[in-house]
A and B are shown apart, each in its own frame.
Chain A
């Protein structure tokens, strides 16, 4: 089974600064997807960024970018120019690209709570 590890339960960043959230995973598959989801307090979890394992280029979405190191099985999220609205719980997730009995179920890490200070 694939496992996802987020080693930082909490992180703090000042507005306008940059923060990096860590994620590592364990898998024997060669093709898969990785995601970062964000859940603000009492709100829906939304997709921040997605990375296909077969793509070498790191995904970027505006102020959010990833550092995908396939050999090291590492998938960190960098948030640049942090804003107060970035405060949330961030979950790293893995999904197999194979159509298995579990379909396309996601495997999540425990989450990292990000605090943004003025």
Chain B
């Protein structure tokens, strides 16, 4: 069974540009999470989907970040326009309803220059 996959693995963009990150969760997992790790700091929660609905987006930094999960399958996280402080590694994770374990993707390393 395929794990959580994220695209791209790396992205380098200029300040002011737009970037879209994608996450494909494990098939059948209703819960999908986005996290971010800024260099040297903790991995921080961004938001949580249950199927296609946003259950909690309290961790989203600001309105330059937009997450979607159309049809309750894959999810995208768009940053527009990107700023230097958005650089970091963005992780996606998924879990089953009632499951205690979250399965993570390999992350997308975003560098804004």
Q: Do A and B bind each other?
A: yes
Contact B4–A50 (Cβ < 8 Å): no
Contact B56–A44 (Cβ < 8 Å): no
Nearest-neighbour CB distance to chain B for A100, whole angstroms, equals: 8
Q: Which residues of B contact A103 (CB under 8 A)?
A: 31, 33, 48, 50, 55-56
A25 interfacial contact with B, CB 8 Å: no
- Of B4, B42, B55, B93, which contacts A4 at CB under 8 A? B42
- Of A52, A91, A95, which contacts B43 at CB under 8 A? A91
How many chain A residues touch B (Cβ–Cβ < 8 Å)? 24
A75 interfacial contact with B, CB 8 Å: no
Per-position binary interface string of chain A over residues 94-116, scored 1 when its CB falls under 8 Å from any chain B CB and 0 otherwise: 01000001111111111100000
CA distance A102 to B105 in the complex (A): 20
Q: Which residues of B contact A46 (CB under 8 A)?
A: 104
Inter-chain CB contacts under 8 Å: number: 66
Q: Which residues of A contact B91 (CB under 8 A)?
A: 45
- Of A37, A44, A104, A111, which contacts B106 at CB under 8 A? A44
Per-position binary interface string of chain A over residues 80-102, scored 1 when its CB falls under 8 Å from any chain B CB and 0 otherwise: 00000000000100010000011
Contact A108–B106 (Cβ < 8 Å): no
Per-position binary interface string of chain B over residues 74-95, scored 1 when its CB falls under 8 Å from any chain A CB and 0 otherwise: 0000000000000000010101
How many chain B residues touch A (Cβ–Cβ < 8 Å)? 29
Say yes or no: A110-B56 contact (C-beta < 8 A), given A44-B104, A103-B31, A104-B102: no
- Of B3, B41, B104, which contacts A37 at CB under 8 A? B104
B1 interfacial contact with A, CB 8 Å: no
What are 16 sample pairs from A and B whose C-beta atoms fall under 8 A apart? Answer: A44-B105, A45-B91, A45-B106, A47-B103, A91-B43, A102-B56, A103-B50, A104-B31, A106-B93, A106-B102, A108-B35, A108-B44, A109-B42, A110-B42, A111-B42, A111-B43
